[in-house]
Chain A
């Protein structure tokens, strides 16, 4: 069973601060995705990273996939209250396994004005 561990589980910061969320596993993933979920809504895909060492930027969000494709990070610069939500990483199995996503336990981010 592939497991993804996210840290921290909770993050409460002031507007304007920077933060990093980590997603780690002992397993190799063919791809890794980050989702953001607002209260009462379903998760929304932010990004998919595929290549080891890949870095993708989405405005103030920077996503990195580890060289060995076992870990990933999400860095938010100058956080805003609108960034508040549950952030989920999800890894897809590779090889002959079908692409079922394994979700991390999530990071609840609260950005205070």
Chain B
């Protein structure tokens, strides 16, 4: 089945130690999104890629970076994780900017910072 896969499901990192979360998709969607979700709150958009074009949200801290080497893969890099960055990180995809088909979300990566 076509899907969005996030690895790992659970990630524990040390305060200040860089960490990378990965997302892959078999849907061939050209838009990929990274969301941060804390404690049963609404997902908060960090940034997205439309094909290779990177679009950052105005309030996303510089500590968060992203890479998309090809259509299928997208990475979230947290350069110096703080305790406040502990959250569920969700990757989502869509076919173009038309939202009629909805977003397809991965199962998320739960990040713990110790």
Residues on A close to B: CB < 8 A? 30-31, 33, 35, 40-45, 48, 50, 86, 88, 90, 92, 98-101, 103-106, 108
Contacts and interface: CB of A to CB of B under 8 A. Distances in A.
Contacts of B41: 105-106
A99 B42 contact: no
Contact of A43 (B6, B43, B97, B100): B43
Nearest to B6: A42
Instruction: Give the interface centre of A30, A35, A42, A98 by most chain B CB atoms within 10 Å.
Output: A42
Interface in B1-44: 4, 6, 40-43
A44 B42 contact: no
26 contacts: A31-B99, A33-B102, A35-B102, A40-B108, A42-B90, A42-B92, A42-B107, A43-B43, A44-B105, A45-B102, A45-B103, A45-B104, A48-B99, A48-B100, A48-B102, A88-B43, A92-B99, A98-B50, A99-B94, A99-B96, A99-B98, A100-B45, A101-B45, A104-B42, A105-B42, A108-B40
